[in-house]
Structure 1
Amino acid sequence: MNKTVNINLAGIFFHIDEDAYLKLQGYLTAIKNSFANTEGSAEIIADIETRISELFNERLKNERQVIGLKEVEEVIAIMGQPEDYLVDDDIFEDEPRFNSSKKSTLNKKLFRDIDNSYISGVSSGFAHYLGIDPIWMRLLWVLLVMMSFGTFVVIYILFWILIPAAKTTAEKIMMTGEPVNINNIEKQIKDSFETVSGVAKNVSKSVSDTAKKHGGAVKKTSKNFFDTIADFIMVVVRIFSKFIGIIIIVFSAVILISLILGLFSVGFKNILNIPGLDYVYAFNAGNTPIWLASLLVFFTVGIPVFFLFYLGLKIFVNNLKSIGKIAKLTLLGLWLCAIVGIVIVSVREVSEHSISESVIDKHVLNVTSKDTLRIDIRNNDLYRNHDYNGGFKIANHHDDLKGLYVRNVRIVIKSTKDSLVTVNVEKTADGSSYQKAINYANNIKYDFDFKHQKLMLDSYLYTDVENKFRNQKVTVFVYIPEGVIVNCSESTRFYYTYPSIIENKQTNHYVKIIKDDVLCLDCDDDFKVEVKTPKVKIDEDGVEINGDEGSLKIDKNGIRAESKEVKVRINSDGIDIQSKEN
């Protein structure tokens, strides 16, 4: 049974067994002796202890676990022995402070470089991670902000919040992609002291360069074939995962920016005068404040997209800070509230269309069975005759009030035994109750003119935009006495609906109204087919095709086909096939 010891390493308490404690104590003593006469030795030793405590924390599965000899030896192997990493002052040459050498991002961790920052260090941190100069990253951020009309500032703030700052020496070393060992910690501390004293020295050379200068002080290890294959596969997997992370980040960032633009567009609609919002208002039958609906959509869609963005960052950045349990629960609560709000708004909107009611305006026209009635669609600037039913638009009425013009007009022609023509205008609208639906139907305005035996119908209905779009519809029932001759212009072709006795094909013809039907007075019922192909004849007798190699005839007597070699006859008697002899 081994004795355990409680130690305080860089402000963190660990339980360590006695053998491991003795080895760790000897290791730290050797390090202190090695740096006894080195400038900044206290800071170097403190950072080394901090890095050792971080490595111990990575290996602990729970707080009660005891650090054993195995864990201590693993940490020593990572940190290295003091005698293996003796750094001379000669390696610190005058170079620019920022090292823009392109190192592999697979060994780097993304931090905010607060030592080289203008605002938060996000740009310089990405510059370290990508191996480029910070000036290019800063220019890229400026371009992104300008191209997104300032909304990319939100993405920058998210990076500022989620990416940790490189505060400790170990974090600053990890930011450059170098291993955090005694040699690099000492180099970083020396660089800090020389910067304070005004000497700009480059301390960011790779471990491979240091190893070459010290003549192979670090032992090289060889790998067998299978280890190499395994490492290669892991590198491919890590590169692929980074690529997936970038795709997720870009995709979610585009959606977030779009949502933010939409939210601000609604908020400043009176200032920006954004087109299309009038139609949103017209379809908002439930009278839900547009800013509230936009906010609910923003939270409903934006919060999941934010977590998708956070997932992409987690894949791309291994050391990403957690947003914390409180923030996660708060966002979850907001999302649930937004979902409930969307459901309430949707139910309210559906209820406004739950009931449909109609009102009828009746008009009697002085047209008798001895007259000829012409029906036409009135031409206007809002809707031309080639526009079909169902269209709508918002425009200013003659009194400068905005109105909703709906192209949802149908015509039904029916016969009647009455002596005069009757026009019934049926106006239909939706509402949340019968009375409201009737009120909205009464608010529909539809006009027509009747002069000189000519009925001119409007192609649209009108209602104030305050009434909203409620599936408003007008059906014009024209009851015509039997015996009246009617001529419907071409403009009415697409307006007829069941059970009209006049159909599309009867437009531009004179028809006589009979009981529940019409009799066309100028329709040509002869069978006429115009065929411009030579040797082809199609008429009331049948079809005849003559060619150089034979002929085909189809008529009431059957089918006859003939060529130089064969004759075929098909009729009610059967099939007769005869071959010709040469």
Structure 2
Amino acid sequence: MNKTININLANLFFHIDEVAYTKLQRYLEAIKRSFANTSGSDEIIADIEARIAELFHEKMENERQVITEKEVDQVIAIMGQPEDYMVDEDIFEDEPISTHKSKRVRKLYRDIENKYIGGVSAGLGHYFGIDALWIRLLWVLLTIFSWGGFVFIYGLLWILIPEAVTTVQKLDMRGEAVNISNIEKKVKEGFDDVAEKVKSVDYEKVGNKVKDGSKSFFNALADIIMFFFKIIGKFIGIILIVIGATGIVGLFIGLFTVGILDIFHIPGIDFYDLINSANTPVWLVSLLVFFAMGIPFFFLMYLGLKILVNNLKSIGNIAKFTLLGLWLISIILLVVFGIRQAAEHAYTGNVSTEKEFVLIQNSQPVSISLSSSDKDSNSNKFGLSGIVLDYTENGEEVLISEDVRINLRVSRDSIPRIEIRKNANGSSFKNATETAANINYGYTIEGNTIILDDYLTTPKANKYRDQEVRVYLYLPKDTRILFEKSIGNCWTYRASNDQNMGPCAIRDKTWVMGEDGELKCLDCTEDNKENTTQEGKGKIIINEDGVDIDIKGDGDNFKLKINEQGVEIKTNEANSTRSEIDTIQP
């Protein structure tokens, strides 16, 4: 049983067993002895301790984990032994004695030592391994061509990217190994730079600057810009948090109340059942939608928190890649389900039936009327785009659709007949044909009266697969037809006629079937038969007798008549008893 000791290393607390503590203590004392007579030794040792604390923290799985001798040995192997390095000026020559260089992955920091404004360009230059000058030129070009839009991006990077302050951070920024040798080298380079600046400084100018308390132009400009960017950044962070949190909460409520538990039965679920030809469970689709939309909302909220909280702890690479994997899987599965849904409508099948019937009284007109379902009488039924989910008298669920068209055509002989053509889509031609065969459509023929349904029905199990019915009513030539007004949808009719009337206008008029399949009106007015157009107080008549135009205005009258006799023009002014008639012979 080993004794556990609590230590504070670089302001981080660790639990370490007694054997590991003794080994770590001897290692740190050896390092202190090695740097005893070195300039900047305190800073070097502080950076070394910070690096050791960082390595310990990376190896800990939880806060209660105890650092053992194994972890100490691993850290020492990374940092190196003090005797492995020459702690004198020889290590700063162009060709150091130790030629071994371990390359590390660069980390993104702002280089405040080589900054012009915020050090973003210098930090990006270190990260991508290119000269910062090219980064700065790219910023200028992007800012010009985006009308200043990249200024805000620069500001966000300024806020989000931390600055390299410690020696360890500066080494990470350059991708150099964080060990004793590099830490010592970096610290001593800093002292050498300071010493060189002290030697070459103009003390008189420095005194004047101290007295004036002035700043350089770029430093002052940087402070002003940074102030405004921080305000804008905080505002953007709040917006991102609100959007992300609202989206996640809304998706969470929808997932457990509608998608999985179905606590609230809303019409949308009924519609999903109608169009879900692939039979994909609603809970699975809801879960995938939650991940596909919720994960981006989460990262929006996380980005907002990163903007507002400077020292926000990272969620870790494992969590990031796990969420990314879930998002990609959700997107892929939703695409697959969408393709499966589309495949259910890839083929079209149809079933046709034709039946002859006999008219009781050929001398009497054939009366055609429509029969409508009672789907509009119950407001609790769910419908969308002409589709209604209803129940039969036996309690069975059925789909009711208005996709019915009735076409009138001339019969090829003296026998009237009716053809019912049912169409539907499916995943295969066989499936589409079977779905079409399951469509129910009714009509009744009683004497000279034909009653046609303006709707179709099909069991709910068939789903919605673009089911439709086309009725072709073939009547012999010279058959008189009367379209009765009914509760049905008159727009269901498709009948060509010599009056160019719409489906609803042909009702309550007597028609006769022409030999070309066009209906001829028998009781239309004279103006209708002669293609008469009346507007206001005037009229225009065009027929075989010629053209007759009569325009009546307020107090004025103008008539123009063109026929075989020539052109006749008549004008009459109300304020004068004079009239004028001009006749021009051809």
Q: Same fold (TM over 0.5)?
A: yes
From the superposition, tell whether residues 10 and 308 of structure 1 become closer, same or farther in structure 2 (CA, over 3 Å).
Answer: closer
2:441 partner SS: coil
Is the aligned partner of 1:350 residue 2:351?
no
Is the aligned partner of 1:310 residue 2:302?
yes
- Output aligned runs, 1:411-422, within 5 Å: 411-422=406-417
Moved more, 370-379 or 459-468: 370-379
1:413-454 CA-partner distances (Å, limit 9, x unpaired):
111033332122211111111111111111111112222422
Q: Which residue of 2 aligns with 1:410?
A: 405
Aligned with 1:253 (options 229, 245, 255): 245
Is the aligned partner of 1:542 residue 2:560?
no
Distance 1:22 1:324 in 2: 32
1:260-299 CA-partner distances (Å, limit 9, x unpaired):
2222133445543333312101110011111112222222
From the superposition, tell whether residues 230 and 555 of structure 1 become closer, same or farther in structure 2 (CA, over 3 Å).
Answer: farther
Counterpart AA for 2:417: T
- Is the Cα–Cα contact under 8 Å of residues 420 and 480 in structure 1 kept in the other structure? yes
Q: Which residue of 1 aligns with 2:224?
A: 232
Give unmatched runs, 5+ long, in structure 1. 1-7, 27-52, 75-218, 564-571, 574-582
From the superposition, tell whether residues 318 and 466 of structure 1 become closer, same or farther in structure 2 (CA, over 3 Å).
Answer: same
Aligned with 2:469 (options 443, 468, 474): 474
- Is the Cα–Cα contact under 8 Å of residues 357 and 438 in structure 1 kept in the other structure? yes
1:8-66 CA-partner distances (Å, limit 9, x unpaired):
7457989989211257899xxxxxxxxxxxxxxxxxxxxxxxxxx99555554352442
Moved more, 474-483 or 296-305: 296-305
Q: Which residue of 1 aligns with 2:317?
A: 325
Distance 2:432 2:44 in 1: 85
Counterpart AA for 2:453: D
Number of positions where the alignment pairs a residue of Structure 1 with one of Structure 2? 383
- Output aligned runs, 1:4-19, within 5 Å: 9-10=10-11, 18-19=38-39
- Is the Cα–Cα contact under 8 Å of residues 412 and 499 in structure 1 kept in the other structure? no
Distance 2:429 2:187 in 1: 80
- Output aligned runs, 1:10-89, within 5 Å: 10=11, 18-21=38-41, 57-60=168-171, 61=173, 62=176, 63-64=178-179, 65-66=182-183, 67-68=186-187
Counterpart AA for 2:290: F
- Output aligned runs, 1:200-239, within 5 Å: 222-224=213-215, 226=217, 227-239=219-231
Q: Which residue of 1 aligns with 2:375?
A: 382
From the superposition, tell whether residues 220 and 328 of structure 1 become closer, same or farther in structure 2 (CA, over 3 Å).
Answer: farther
Is the aligned partner of 1:494 residue 2:491?
yes
- Is the Cα–Cα contact under 8 Å of residues 411 and 500 in structure 1 kept in the other structure? no
Query: What TM-score comes out, normalization by structure 1 length?
Result: 0.57
1:180-216 CA-partner distances (Å, limit 9, x unpaired):
xxxxxxxxxxxxxxxxxxxxxxxxxxxxxxxxxxxxx
Distance 1:20 1:558 in 2: 118
Q: Which residue of 2 aligns with 1:151?
A: none
Aligned with 1:428 (options 423, 441, 444): 423
Q: Which residue of 1 aligns with 2:525?
A: 524
Aligned with 1:397 (options 392, 395, 400): 392
From the superposition, tell whether residues 261 and 560 of structure 1 become closer, same or farther in structure 2 (CA, over 3 Å).
Answer: farther
Distance 1:241 1:562 in 2: 81
Counterpart AA for 1:470: R
Counterpart AA for 2:315: I
- Is the Cα–Cα contact under 8 Å of residues 257 and 263 in structure 2 kept in the other structure? no
From the superposition, tell whether residues 558 and 245 of structure 1 become closer, same or farther in structure 2 (CA, over 3 Å).
Answer: farther
- For residue 220 of structure 1, report the CA deviation from its aligned partner: 11
- For residue 238 of structure 1, report the CA deviation from its aligned partner: 1.0
- For residue 366 of structure 1, report the CA deviation from its aligned partner: 2.1
Counterpart AA for 1:261: I
2:39 partner SS: helix
Counterpart AA for 2:272: V
From the superposition, tell whether residues 419 and 503 of structure 1 become closer, same or farther in structure 2 (CA, over 3 Å).
Answer: farther
- Is the Cα–Cα contact under 8 Å of residues 277 and 341 in structure 2 kept in the other structure? yes
- Is the Cα–Cα contact under 8 Å of residues 376 and 455 in structure 1 kept in the other structure? yes
Aligned with 2:479 (options 484, 487, 495): 484
Is the aligned partner of 1:276 residue 2:271?
no
- For residue 328 of structure 1, report the CA deviation from its aligned partner: 1.6
1:395-416 CA-partner distances (Å, limit 9, x unpaired):
1111111111111111111110
What fraction of aligned residue pairs are identical, expressed as a percent? 31
Counterpart AA for 2:40: A
Give unmatched runs, 5+ long, in structure 2. 1-8, 14-27, 47-163, 194-209, 378-382, 542-547, 574-583
Distance 1:389 1:366 in 2: 39
- Is the Cα–Cα contact under 8 Å of residues 419 and 473 in structure 2 kept in the other structure? yes
